[in-house]
Chains A and B, each alone.
Chain A
Amino acid sequence: MNKELLKQALEFGLSKEELQRILEILGREPNFLELGIFSVMWSEHCSYKSSRIHLKTLPTDGSQVVQGPGENAGIVDIGDGWGLAFKMESHNHPSYIEPYQGAATGVGGILRDVFTMGARPIANLNSLRFGAVDHPKTPFLVHGVVAGIAGYGNCMGIPTVAGEVFFDSSFNGNILVNAMTVGLIRLDRIFKGKAEGVGNPVLYVGSKTGRDGIHGATMASGEFDESSEEKRPTVQVGDPFTEKLLLEACLEVMKHDYLVGIQDMGAAGLTSSSFEMASRAGSGIEMDLDKIPVREEGMSAYEMMLSESQERMLLVAKRGCEAKVIEIFQKWDLDAVVVGRVSEDGWMRLKKDGEIVGELPIEPLVEAAPRYDRPRKAPDLQKRRSFTGRTLDFPQDWNKVLLKMVGSPNLCSRKWVYRQYDHMVMTNTVLLPGGDAAVLRIKGLKQGVAVTSDCNSRYCYLDPYLGAMHAVAEAARNLVCAGARPLAVTDCLNFGNPEKPEIMWEFAEAVRGLGEACRALKTPVVSGNVSLYNDTNGVSIFPTPTIGMVGVLDDVERHGRSGFQQSGDVVYILGEIGGGIGASEYLSVIHQETAGHVPALDLAKEKALQDFVLGLHAQGLLQSAHDVSDGGLAVALAESCLTAEPPLGVEVRVPEGEAYFQIAELLFGEAASRILVSVKASEAANFGQLAAAAGISCTRLGAVASKRFQVAPWIDLPIAEVHGVWNSGFERILKTEE
C-alpha cells in the first residue's frame, strides 16, 4: 500500500481497512479529492457505521407514519390532508468550540432538513446539556448557545417553543446542543431528495460556497482534546437572513411542478447532498465545478466538494423548468445555477477547468460504506449505582430542602432562556414554554399540535436501557398532560466513543429501551440523528438519547395546562405515591450523588395512565395536569403553583414517613408513571371512582390555595418565597443579574 496515501487516509479519519476497501472499489488509487469524498461519506457522522445495525431494530411503522427514516425528515399524518415533518439533530462539537455560531448553524441545518421536504417550519425546540454550573466555561457556553439559537430562530421567524436545559459535570468538556424543527406539510405535496430522470438539470441554490466548515463532519467523528479549540475554522458561520430567503424561495418553487428532488447541503455539503440524491434514485450525476458560485477565488475542487458553507440547497428540476426555477430564486435575490445533469450510469463525475477531476461509483460508495458491529461490554454498573445513602445526614428542615431544590440548576425556571427566544411569532403558540409541552394551533384546522423533548441523562448513565424507556415515557406523558395524543418520535442519540466497548454497550442498551418503549406507546421513530465521540480527553458524557415527540389534539381548544387554575380546586396524584430516591435530582442536589437504581417502569401501566388522562381531557374534567418527574411530587406541586398566572399556593398532606429516606422518597422520589392533576371541587365527588374504574391508583392530596405552599406535615412556606427562589435561579447560577 502507498505509504503517503495511507498517511493521508489516516489523517482524514479513515482506517487502513477502509482504505483497502476503497482501493478494491475503485480498482486504482483515489486522488486527493476522491479520498476526501470517501472520508466524509464514510465518517461516522454521515455513514452511521457504528450505529446502523442497532438502529435497524427500532419500530418505524404505524398507520400515522407517512415518511419514516431515510429522508431529510420524518412525516406523520394529523388529518384533513395535513402532516407534520420533523427531525432532531445534534450540533455538539461545533457548539463547544464556538457556541454562538455552532448553535445557530445547528438551528439552520435542522430547519433546512424540514423545509426541503416542502414543509413550512412552525416550531423549533432544543435540548441542551452543559457542564457543572461552577465550571469556568459553563456561563460562557450557556450565553453563547442560547444567543445563537435565538439569533437564528428569531430572525427566521420560527418560534422556539420548548426544550430542556440540564447541567452536569459529565458535560464539562463536551456540551450537547440538539435542535429540532417541526414543519407543517400538505401530504400531497411532499418533496424528496431524489436525483431522478436522466438529463434533468441539477441546480445549486442559496449562498455562495466558501472555505468554511471543511471537514466538519470528520471533526464530529473524533474525540476532543486540548487542541480542539484550534478547530474553530471548521465551524461554519450562519446567515439566518439568507436562510429566510431560501425558505421563502423554496416554498414558492414548490407551489409549482418544477422539481424532481431537493436536498439540503448539510454535513459534508455538496458531497453528501449529491451522492445521497443520486443514490436514492439509483442514478448518476455529472457536475461542472466551475459553475459553483464561490465566495473566494482559487478554490479547489476538494474545497468546493467538502465545504460546509451554510444556507445552500441542491435541486433537480424537470428538464425545461430551469428558467422558471431560477426566476423565483432571483426574485428572492439568491444565486441559482445549473451545475450539472442527472446521468444514467450510476457514477459521479466532477469536472473542473474542462477536465474530469473526480470519478466515483455512487452505489458502492454509499451502500458499501462500512458497517461495524463493534464490541460491547457492560461497565461496572454496581459501582456506578452504589452509594452510602443510609449514613447521609438527615435534613433538619424540609422547607430549606424544598427551596434548595426549586432553586437548583436543573429545576429552576427556564425563563431566562426562553425569554430570549421569540416563542410567539407566527401567532400559533397556544401553550407557551415553561409547561410540560408546547401547544400550537394550526390556522384553518380544528386540530392542534403538541411538541416536547425529553431525556434524563443521569438515568441513562445509571441504566441506559431503562433510562431510554423513561425518556420516551416522559415525553409521551408531557404531551398527554397538554391534552395531545402522542404520534411519533425523532431521536438524537448522543454518546461517547463507540470504539470503547462500554460506550457501545450503553448505545445498544439505550436503543433497545427506546425501541421497547416506542412499541409499547405506539410512537414509532420516524427520523433521527446519531452523535458519537462525545468525549474530551477520554472522558465520556452521560449517554443522552434525546427524544423529540409530536402529538395531535383533536380539538386545540381542549388543551391542558400544567399550572393550577383557581384556589379551591382539588388536587390528586394519579399513580403511586412515594417511590425510589435512586438516580434522583434530590440525591444530586442535596447529597451530590449520582447513584442508586433508576425507578422501575411498567409500560403497560404507563399507557393505561396516559389513556385515562386523555379521556379526562376529552371530557373537560381537568383544570390542570402536570407530569411528576425530576424532583418528585413536592417539586411537581411547586411547579403547578408557580406556572399559574399569577402564582397560586397549595395545601396538601402526604402520608407521614418515619425514617429519613421514607420522607425524602415521599417528597422527592421519582417513581415513574405519575401525573398531578387538579379538578373543580364540584367534580371531585366522582373523581376517585372514575380512576378506580379505570384501574388507576389515585390519591386525593388536598386543594389549591392562594398564598401558602404547604405539604403537610413537612413543608410550609409562603408561595411568594418559593417563587422568588425558583424564578431567579438561572440568573443566580449564571451571575447575570441585571
Chain B
Amino acid sequence: MKVGVIVFPGSNCDHDLYHVLGKVVGFESVYLWHKDRDLQNCGAVLVPGGFSYGDYLRCGAIARFSPIMQEVEKFAKGGGPVLGICNGFQILTESHLLPGVLMRNRSLQFVCDTTRVRVESSETPFTRKVEAGSVLQMPVAHGEGNYFIDEEGLKRLEGEDRVVFRYVDEHGHTSDHANPNGSLGNIAGICNAARNVVALMPHPERVSEKILGSAEGKIIFESLLAG
C-alpha cells in the first residue's frame, strides 16, 4: 500500500513518520505538499506532528484551510484511513473530522515524557493488530494535548467505543498522575463514527525501533498492513 505523509509549513515529525513508514515498516511512502490537491493515489494518509503554520491563532486552525486538507476531508469521508499524530490530532479536530478540542496542558507547560497508553479498541485500521486492553509505552511532546468534549459528546464517544487510547499508570489504571495534560477521562486518542479517522497525542513513530529504546509503537503502522 502507498501511504502519504502531509507536509505543512512547520510540520516537524514528517521526516520521522516517513522514515518509519518507508524504512522500518516497508510501505511505499510519499510526502504530500500542503499546497497540492493531489493525494497521489495513497491508500492511507498520515497527518504528522509539528507546528503547522506556526500554530499561530490556534493549533491546527490554519492548516485545516490548506488545499491538501480539502482533499483529505473528501478522502476521509469516502472511508479512507487517516491517522493524525499530535499536531495531526489538533488539525483533525479543527477540520471537524474528529469531535472535541485540544486545550492547553493543565500545567501550562510543554511536556515531553514517556507515557503508558492503553489501547481501548482494536476496531480501527491503526489498531487492528493490537489486542484491546494492552498497554503501549509511547512518548508525548506537546503544549496542547488536553482533550475536551462536552458531556453529550463524551457519552457518544464512550457509547460507540470511540476512545481508542487512554493514559494509564504502571498498574494499568486511568489515574490522574498518569495523565500528562489533564485530558478528560485520560483520553489520549479517538476515532470518528466510521472508525477510519484515528488520532492520538502520543508519538508511536518515536518508539518504532529498538535503538530508540522500544519498538512498541510500530504495531500502529503495521496494523495498516494487516488490512
Contacts and interface: CB of A to CB of B under 8 A. Distances in A.
A155 interface: yes
Interface in B96-115: 106-107, 109-113
A241 B141 contact: no
A423 B9 CA distance: 21
Contact of A420 (B16, B19, B55, B109): B109
Interface string B97-137: 00000000011011111000000000000000000000000
Given A419-B112, A420-B110, A441-B211, A425 B53 contact: no
Interface stretch (B73-81, B184-192, B193-201, B202-210): B202-210
A150 B142 CA distance: 11
26 contacts: A147-B110, A150-B109, A154-B51, A154-B110, A155-B54, A157-B12, A239-B54, A240-B54, A241-B9, A241-B10, A241-B54, A241-B55, A241-B56, A242-B54, A244-B12, A419-B109, A422-B112, A423-B112, A424-B212, A425-B16, A425-B141, A427-B16, A427-B19, A430-B212, A430-B213, A738-B106
Interface in B1-47: 9-10, 12-13, 15-16, 19-20, 23
A688 B55 CA distance: 57
A244 B10 contact: yes
Nearest to A249: B9
Interface string A477-520: 00000000000000000000000000000000000000000000
Interface of A: 147, 150-151, 154-157, 239-242, 244-245, 332-333, 418-427, 429-430, 441, 443, 556-557, 738
Contacts of A239: 54
A419 B42 CA distance: 36
B88 to A, nearest CB: 14
Given A150-B109, A155-B54, A241-B51, 7 more contacts: A150-B110, A151-B110, A154-B51, A423-B112, A425-B12, A427-B19, A738-B106
B139 interface: yes
A427 B203 CA distance: 10
Contacts of A422: 110, 112, 141
Contact of B9 (A333, A424, A427, A738): A333
Given A241-B51, A427-B19, A556 B141 contact: no
B50 interface: yes
A419 B209 CA distance: 22
Contact of A154 (B23, B141, B211): B141
Contacts of A418: 112
B141 A424 contact: yes
Nearest to A239: B54
A156 B15 CA distance: 13
A244 B55 CA distance: 12
A424 B111 contact: no
A242 B56 CA distance: 11
A116 B163 CA distance: 45
A424 B12 contact: no
B211 A556 contact: yes
Contacts of B9: 241, 244-245, 332-333
Nearest to B15: A426
B123 to A, nearest CB: 28
Contacts of B112: 154, 418-424
Contacts of A427: 16, 19-20, 205-206, 208-209, 212
Contacts of B206: 424-425, 427
B54 A157 contact: no
Contacts of A244: 9-10, 12, 51
A332 B53 CA distance: 11
Contacts of B12: 155-157, 244, 425
Contacts of B141: 154, 422, 424-425
Interface string B154-178: 0000000000000000000000000
**Residue from A156, A244, A430 having most chain B Cβ neighbours under 10 A:** A244
A154 B10 CA distance: 11
A430 B53 CA distance: 29
Nearest to B23: A443
A423 B113 CA distance: 9
A429 B19 contact: no
Contacts of A155: 10, 12, 51, 54-55
Contacts of A242: 54
Nearest to A143: B109
Given A244-B12, A332-B9, A157 B109 contact: no
